Amino acid sequence: MGATVSHLPGEKVISHPRFATFYMWMTDRPLVRRTEDPLRRETVGQAHGIVLEVGAGGGQNLPFYDVRRVVRLEVTEPDEAMLVVARRRLPQAPVPTAVTKAAVAALPFPDVHFDSVVATLVFCSVDEPERGLREIWRVLKPGGSLALLEHVRAQGKIAALVQGAVVPVTTHVSGNCHWNRDTEATVLSAGFRVTRARLVRGGLQPVLCLSAIRPATGEAMPSAARTV
């Protein structure tokens, strides 16, 4: 599956080489690793069976897949500058892994193919998050799991206002990052059942750890179980 280019006709090419270079440097800082690695481990640790990771960046999550739970991993990423690093990091993956160039809105995989899908720090950058989540729904098996780790909208009014004011800058300089989205609401409106949602940190940069499933056919959609 490696090296497939997947763009829908007319789809915008995703390319932020300067941000990619900065992001690789930043995510390797010891302080960032100390903060992010436990959250990455928690999120990725939920994956089982045949797994898809979307928007995988430079493969920051690769070392965290559990060889006892994961049979095979498909990693997708649309930005070539991120992709080259992800390919370089492939030996760090403890499970059989393939890397494919693809945006989340056009995944080159059949319907009901994956047991789990993982995305970390992705849905703030995706142009049409609901479309991407519907595409994830398509490739997930009924009962399959979705694990997300995302920067989301601040809880406090003032913090949310500040976030909103800064978004035009972050979209410009941080790879299209809208760090103030209500991603849990988008997950629900895409039809997933949220089984767990936890906000880590507060202030200007809360992080949402969310687990959801694609309900089995015919299953009613209960509301989210939230712990803050």
Give how far Cα 63 sits from Cα of 16, 42, 99, 112, 168, Å: 24, 12, 15, 26, 33
Among 62, 93, 122, 210, binds ligand SAM (CB under 6 A): 122
**Cβ atoms within 10 Å of 172's Cβ, excluding its own:** 11
- Measure CA 30 to chain center: 22
Among 47, 78, 117, 194, binds ligand SAM (CB under 6 A): 78
Contacts to ligand SAM from residues 7-46, by CB under 6 A: 14, 23, 27
| Distance (Å, whole) CA 5 – CA 100 | 7
**Cβ-proximal residues to 50 (8 Å cutoff; 6+ apart), any chain:** 71, 72, 74, 113, 114, 115, 116
| Residue 107 binding ligand SAM, by CB under 6 A | no
Residue tagged 């789990």 (tokens): 116
| Residue 129 binding ligand SAM, by CB under 6 A | no
In the bound state with ligand SAM, the residue whose beta carbon lies nearer, of 55 and 217, is: 55
In the bound state with ligand SAM, the residue whose beta carbon lies nearer, of 83 and 197, is: 83
Q: Considering only 92-100, 102-110, 152-160, 188-196, which stretch makes contact with ligand SAM by CB under 6 A?
A: 102-110
Contacts to ligand SAM from residues 173-192, by CB under 6 A: 175
Binding site for ligand SAM (CB under 6 A): 14, 23, 27, 54-57, 60, 77-79, 82, 103-105, 120-122, 125-127, 132, 175
